[in-house]
C-alpha cells in the first residue's frame, strides 16, 4: 500500500470537518465535494451560502455532501467571536476580529481555532503570504516555537531506511536562513508533524557537513547549538546531531562515525537541513537522482494545522493535500487529548 | 490624534510586541537593525495597531518600514 493510500485509509477512520473559505473556486469545490463524498472528510463551505448553493447546483454536486456556513450570519459570528476572544493568548480583540472575519479565510480560521473545524484549507485564491499571515494572526504558533516551517515526505524507491522507503525532510520550502533557535523549532515541529500524520516515533537528525565535531566552523556551531536548544525545549524527543547525511541514515556509516550512544544516528526518519539552500538542493537531488515522490510541503509550527496549496494545483493534488491535512488534524487532536 | 501622541502610542505597541523597554525606543529606532526579530513579532505589532488604533496596516507595508517613525507615517495616513 503506497504512502498516500495509507493516509487515505487513515482519514476514513476519523473524518474531520474541513473548512473551505475559497469554495467558490471551481477546483476547490470539486476537491471538497469528492473528498467529502468519498468519506475522507466532512467539507464545510464558508462564505456567501446563497452563492455557494447556486454554484454547487450549477456544477452538478449533491449539496447534501456539504455543510454550509454563512459569514453573514451575525448570531453565529458573534458566538465564534465570544469563544475565540475567551481563548488564552489570542491577538485580535473583538472589533478588529469582526472586521477581519468579513474575509472567509479569517472566518474559517476562527472556526478552526475554536474547534468548529479541524482544518482550514486555502491557497487557491489567496497567496501563501495571505494564508501564513491569517494563520499567525488567528491560529498562532505553538508554545516555544519561533518560526513557521515545513516538511516534505519522500517515498524513495530502493531506499531501505528505518521507515522503509520513506524519509521526512525539512525545511525545504519556508524558513530561508534559520538561526539556531529557529532551527531547533523546525526540528521540534517536524517531530510533531510526523507523529501526527504517520504515528512514527520520530528520530530526528540535524544535518551538517560535520559529524560530532569532525569539522569546525560557524556553520557547524549553529547546528550544534540548535541540537542543544531542541533538546532543552523538548527533552523527550529523539533529536540528535550534528551529523552528516550518511551518518544520519546509514547504520554502517553511523557505526564508523558516531562513537557514542545515539537514538538517531544511522536510523533517522526525520532529516533537518541547516538552511534553505541545502534544503532545496537536497529535495531536488532526492527527486532527480532518487526518483522519489515528494509530498508536501506541509506547513508546521502553528497551534493547529494550517494549509496552503499551490495556486496552480490540479484537483488531484488538492485532494491529496486536503486528506493529509485532515489526518494531521486528527493526530493533533489525539495528541491534545492525551 | 496629535502626531506626538500617536508616536508615543505606537512606541508603546512596539515595546509590547518586541518585548523591549519602551524608554529605549524613539521614532528613529530602526525596526530591522535595532529590533531584529522574526515576522511573528511584526504580525503581533500589526494586530496591536488594529486593536488599539482601529487601523488596518498591511503586514507588507509595516514590514517595509525602516524606522518606527515611518510606521507612524503609515498609520497616520490611515487615520
CA distance A156 to A168: 11
| Nine-digit cell string for A249 | 541514515
Starting from the edge strand earliest in sequence, which strands make up the sheet with A16-20, in order? Answer: A67-70, A41-47, A16-20, A119-122, A306-308
Partners of residue A303 in chain B, C-beta under 8 Å: none
Per-residue pLDDT in tens (0 to 9) along chain A, 338 residues: 778 888 999 999 999 999 999 999 999 999 999 999 999 999 999 999 999 999 999 999 999 999 999 999 999 999 999 999 999 988 899 999 999 999 999 999 999 999 999 999 999 999 888 898 999 999 999 988 989 999 999 989 999 999 999 999 999 988 989 999 999 999 999 999 999 888 899 999 999 999 999 999 999 999 999 999 999 999 999 999 999 999 999 999 999 999 999 999 999 999 999 999 999 999 999 989 999 888 888 999 999 999 888 777 889 889 989 999 999 999 887 765 43
CATH 3.40.50.10950 location in chain A:
3-140+302-337
- CA A67 and chain centroid, separation: 24
Kindly determine whether residue A96 and residue B47, on different chains, have CB atoms separated by under 8 Å.
Answer: yes
Q: Are B75 and B18 in contact (CB under 8 A)?
A: no
Q: Is A182 on the interface with B (CB under 8 A)?
A: yes
The angle at the Cα of A88, spanning A84 to A93, to the nearest 5 degrees, equals 50
Q: Residue A316: what pLDDT?
A: 87
Q: Is A147 on the interface with B (CB under 8 A)?
A: yes
CA distance A148 to chain B (A): 9
Going from the C-alpha of A8 to that of each of A65, A191, A330, the distances in angstroms are 18, 21, 13
B11 Cβ contact list (under 8 Å, min separation 6): B22, B25, B26, B27, B68
Domains belonging to chain B, first-starting first, are 3-78 (1.10.1200.10)
What are the tens digits of pLDDT across the range B31-72? Answer: 877 776 667 888 989 999 999 999 988 888 898 899 999 999
CA distance A183 to A308: 22
CA distance A19 to A122: 9
CA distance A185 to B28: 32
- Mention the CATH class of domain A149-296: alpha beta
CATH 3.40.50.10750 location in chain A:
149-296
End-to-end CA distance of chain B: 9
Residues 1-60 of B with CB under 8 A from A: 38-40, 43-44, 46-48, 50-51, 54, 56, 59-60
CA distance A137 to B43: 7
Q: Does domain A3-140+302-337 have CATH number 1.10.8.60?
A: no
CA distance A212 to A209: 10
pTM of the model: 0.87
The DSSP secondary structure of A95-153, one letter per residue, reads HHHHHHTTSHHHHHHHHHHTTS-SEEEE-SSS-HHHHHHHIIIII-BPTT----EEEEE
Q: Residue A338: what pLDDT?
A: 34
Q: Is A325 on the interface with B (CB under 8 A)?
A: no
Q: Are A55 and A79 in contact (CB under 8 A)?
A: no
Closest CA to A89 of A44, A144, A41, A45: A144
Q: Residue A337: what pLDDT?
A: 43
Please tell me which of the candidates A96, A133, A136 has its beta carbon nearest to residue B51. Answer: A96
| ipTM at complex level | 0.80
Q: Residue B60: what pLDDT?
A: 84
Closest CA to A90 of A101, A103, A76: A101
Kindly determine whether residue A141 and residue B40, on different chains, have CB atoms separated by under 8 Å.
Answer: yes
Q: Are A208 and A254 in contact (CB under 8 A)?
A: no
Helix intervals (H) in A139-275: 180-198, 218-233, 245-249, 251-257
The DSSP secondary structure of B33-74, one letter per residue, reads III---HHHHHHHHHHHHHHH-----HHHHHT-SBHHHHHHH
Helix intervals (H) in A214-314: 218-233, 245-249, 251-257, 276-288
Q: Which residue in this structure is represented by grid cell 519522500?
A: A154
Amino acid at each position: 500500500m503506497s504512502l498516500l493510500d495509507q493516509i487515505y485509509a487513515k482519514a476514513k477512520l476519523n473524518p474531520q470537518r474541513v473548512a473551505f473559505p475559497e469554495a467558490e473556486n471551481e477546483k476547490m469545490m470539486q476537491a471538497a465535494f469528492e473528498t467529502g463524498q468519498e468519506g475522507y472528510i466532512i467539507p464545510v463551505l464558508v462564505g456567501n451560502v446563497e452563492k455557494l448553493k447556486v454554484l454547487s447546483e450549477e456544477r452538478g454536486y449533491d449539496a447534501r455532501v456539504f455543510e454550509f456556513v454563512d459569514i453573514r450570519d451575525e448570531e453565529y459570528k458573534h458566538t465564534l467571536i465570544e469563544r475565540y476572544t475567551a481563548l488564552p493568548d489570542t491577538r485580535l480583540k473583538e472589533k478588529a476580529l469582526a472586521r477581519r472575519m468579513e474575509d472567509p479565510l479569517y472566518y474559517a480560521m476562527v472556526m478552526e481555532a475554536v474547534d468548529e473545524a479541524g482544518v482550514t484549507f486555502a491557497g487557491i485564491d489567496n497567496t501563501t503570504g495571505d494564508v501564513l499571515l491569517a494563520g499567525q494572526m488567528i491560529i498562532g504558533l505553538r508554545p516555544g516555537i519561533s518560526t513557521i516551517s515545513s516538511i516534505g515526505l519522500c517515498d524513495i524507491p530502493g531506499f531501505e531506511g528505518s521507515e522503509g522507503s520513506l524519509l521526512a525532510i525539512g525545511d525545504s520550502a519556508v524558513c530561508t536562513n534559520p538561526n539556531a533557535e529557529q532551527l531547533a523549532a523546525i526540528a521540534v515541529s517536524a517531530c510533531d508533524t510526523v507523529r501526527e500524520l504517520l504515528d512514527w516515533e520520530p528520530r530526528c537528525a540535524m544535518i551538517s557537513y560535520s559529524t560530532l565535531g569532525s569539522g569546525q566552523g560557524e556553520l557547524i556551531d549553529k547546528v550544534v547549538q540548535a541540537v542543544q536548544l531542541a533538546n532543552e525545549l523538548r527533552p523527550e524527543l529523539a533529536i540528535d546531531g550534528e551529523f552528516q547525511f550518511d551518518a544520519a541514515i546509514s547504520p554502517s556509516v553511523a557505526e564508523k562515525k558516531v562513537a557514542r550512544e545515539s537514538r538517531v544516528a544511522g536510523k533517522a526518519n526525520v532529516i533537518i537541513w541547516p538552511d534553505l539552500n541545502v534544503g532545496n538542493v537536497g529535495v531536488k537531488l532526492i527527486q532527480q537522482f532518487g526518483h522519489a515522490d515528494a509530498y508536501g510541503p506541509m506547513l508546521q509550527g502553528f497551534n493547529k494545522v494550517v494549509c496552503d496549496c499551490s495556486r496552480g494545483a490540479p484537483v488531484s493534488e488538492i485532494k491529496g493535500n486536503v486528506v493529509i491535512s485532515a489526518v494531521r488534524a486528527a493526530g493533533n487532536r489525539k495528541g491534545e487529548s492525551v | 490624534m496629535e502626531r506626538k501622541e500617536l508616536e508615543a502610542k505606537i512606541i508603546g505597541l512596539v515595546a509590547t510586541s518586541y518585548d523591549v523597554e519602551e524608554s529605549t525606543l524613539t521614532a528613529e529606532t530602526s525596526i530591522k537593525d535595532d529590533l531584529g526579530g522574526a515576522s511573528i513579532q511584526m504580525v503581533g505589532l500589526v494586530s496591536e495597531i488594529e486593536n488599539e488604533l482601529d487601523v488596518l496596516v498591511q503586514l507588507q507595508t509595516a514590514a517595509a518600514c525602516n524606522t518606527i517613525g515611518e510606521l507612524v507615517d503609515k498609520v497616520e495616513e490611515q487615520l
